[in-house]
Structure 1
Amino acid sequence: MVIQEKLSTEPKMRTRDVSIFYGDKKAVDSVSIDIPTEFVTAFIGPSGCGKSTFLRALNRMNDTIASARVDGRIELDGEDIYHSSMDVVQLRARVGMVFQKPNPFPKSIFENVAYGPRIHGLAEGRTELQEIVEKSLRRAGLWEEVKDRLEESGTALSGGQQQRLCIARAIAVQPEVILMDEPCSALDPIATAKIEELIDELRGRYAIVIVTHSMQQAARVSQRTAFFHLGRMVEYGHTSDIFTNPTEERTKDYITGRYG
């Protein structure tokens, strides 16, 4: 099932009949979806349903697992990301990932953000690098909290600040897509609220996909929601429709708490 809408632009990413295997086990079964830049897209569903596995395929993070295999087609701006000519390092700069647990480098706050632009050659000198770092931290809503201690270790920040630092690090390499794998599951409610506000501020600037176990969070931050169950995408549509008027019985059962 594919939902195609009249958007102002072509979908930033498009998948067709994507199945993912770990050895002989099929973890994701024939998922087709269009991911636009205009909206935040949420993937919901019970644990083990394939939503994080599918998310990781969107920037080839599954390549790091020897037994993993991806069938079907995943496109970024019409280009097959699994084609042999695709530079995976460049792909992961264009399609950034924010993980469940904040994972700042054991470096200073400044160096955490500067690392990507430096290795990708995005800054010609120290001044330009400083500008990128400040801009990224501002976009991540962290600048005012850390501007006087940029040389302190990123690991010394609170959990919520570390997650925003990781978002700043992803933004710094000028991505087109940001994938978030349960970015708030390790955070307290106040830090979670800040991350959700940040996602709303970044919407439209990047194509954002978030995996979340929290249906309330999906309802708050996304405009499109895909429901996964047993490796399949059962339903995909406007978030408000998914939560108030789902067309599939399995979606209704999950939303109303009958399982999951």
Structure 2
Amino acid sequence: MMATMTASAEATVSSQPKMTARDVKVFYGEKQALNGVSIDVHTDLVTAFIGPSGCGKSTFLRCLNRMNDTIDAARIEGRIELEGHDIYAPDMDVVQLRARVGMVFQKPNPFPKSIYENVAYGPRIHGLASSKAELDAIVEQSLVRASLWNEVKDRLQDSGTALSGGQQQRLCIARAIAVDPEVILMDEPCSALDPIATAKIEELIDDLRGRYAIVIVTHNMQQAARVSQRTAFFHLGTLVEYGDTAEIFTNPREQRTKDYITGRFG
């Protein structure tokens, strides 16, 4: 079944999509996990994926930077493009793709290195800095953009794992930003955080919108309503409805969407 798209969603989109997915299917062995998902991701709009556990939203998110490649039994059909280029083409450099399409995971996962080295690691291996001064500047800029600089600027040599959970997640966002990505994927980035840390991450997402295309998977519908401009509702491996966030939450076209948002299942 094709997902319903609201007319107002189409009206809010002014830019060409940064990424496009068309008829994407995912199989784990014989089991089909995604059924023909088509969606656009725009730089100027945060896109939220919502739906009950096991509905396919994280599976689809991982398709966008080929994280499913690490699962031997996974097979992907369909087409996903980043600025018009097929990311599953044989000549696609997956390391470069994952620099362009960064991922922030559900549980903060800083490297067992200093705060500085966590952020400097990506730019160093990708050759983005030609001097220590340039690397210092990238680290500072990334931590500033992740709203963490003022909290850690005097202890950059401390271990990243010594930070609080919310700070660790912002450090992971800084690490993703440091390689100058075009897209940032966030897989339930606040699920392990307290309300204060969650609010900081949500403010950060709003600050980063327009600089990067952002896609967030969340079980928290209030969070989706707060941080996103477009929402995609997944159910049983199918993209049921996709469109303007306000429209999805106040006037969904599909009964399954309405039932999920009103708490009748999930």
Quick check: TM above 0.5? yes
**Residue in structure 2 matching 1:148, options 133, 154, 172:** 154
Distance 2:10 2:196 in 1: 35
Aligned position for 1:5? 10
**Residue in structure 2 matching 1:169, options 168, 175, 184:** 175
SS of the residue 2:141 aligns to: helix
Please say if residues 186 and 216 of structure 2, whose CA atoms lie closer than 8 Å, have aligned partners that are also in contact: yes
Does residue 188 (structure 1) correspond to residue 219 (structure 2)? The answer is no
SS of the residue 1:187 aligns to: coil
The answer for unaligned runs of 5 or more in structure 2 is none
TM-score by length of 1: 0.99
Distance 1:195 1:9 in 2: 25
**Residue in structure 1 matching 2:123, options 117, 124, 144:** 117
Look up the equivalent residue of 2:133 and give its one-letter code: T
The answer for unaligned runs of 5 or more in structure 1 is none
Does residue 100 (structure 1) correspond to residue 132 (structure 2)? The answer is no
Displacement of 1:128 in angstroms is 0.2
After superposition, where does 1:43-82 map in structure 2 within 5 Å?
43-82=49-88
Distance 2:179 2:41 in 1: 21
Displacement of 1:38 in angstroms is 0.9
Displacement of 1:5 in angstroms is 3.1
SS of the residue 1:5 aligns to: helix
Displacement of 1:10 in angstroms is 1.2
- The CA RMSD over aligned residues, in Å, is 0.9
SS of the residue 2:106 aligns to: coil
SS of the residue 1:97 aligns to: strand
Aligned position for 2:214? 208
| 1:130-154 residue CA offsets vs partner (Å, 9 max, x unmatched) | 0000000000000000000000000
| 1:99-121 residue CA offsets vs partner (Å, 9 max, x unmatched) | 00000000000000000000000
| 1:199-236 residue CA offsets vs partner (Å, 9 max, x unmatched) | 00000110000000000000000000000000000000
Please say if residues 10 and 243 of structure 2, whose CA atoms lie closer than 8 Å, have aligned partners that are also in contact: no
**Residue in structure 2 matching 1:160, options 155, 166, 175:** 166
Runs of 4+ aligned residues of structure 1 deviating over 4 Å after TM superposition are: none
Look up the equivalent residue of 1:54 and give its one-letter code: F
SS of the residue 1:210 aligns to: strand
**Residue in structure 1 matching 2:257, options 227, 233, 251:** 251
| 1:66-117 residue CA offsets vs partner (Å, 9 max, x unmatched) | 0001000000001000000000000000000000000000000000000000
Look up the equivalent residue of 1:31 and give its one-letter code: V
Distance 1:34 1:51 in 2: 14
TM-score by length of 2: 0.96
Distance 1:165 1:213 in 2: 22
SS of the residue 1:43 aligns to: strand
Displacement of 1:164 in angstroms is 0.0
Distance 2:258 2:103 in 1: 30
Aligned position for 2:20? 14
SS of the residue 2:155 aligns to: coil
Distance 1:97 1:34 in 2: 18
Please say if residues 100 and 182 of structure 2, whose CA atoms lie closer than 8 Å, have aligned partners that are also in contact: yes
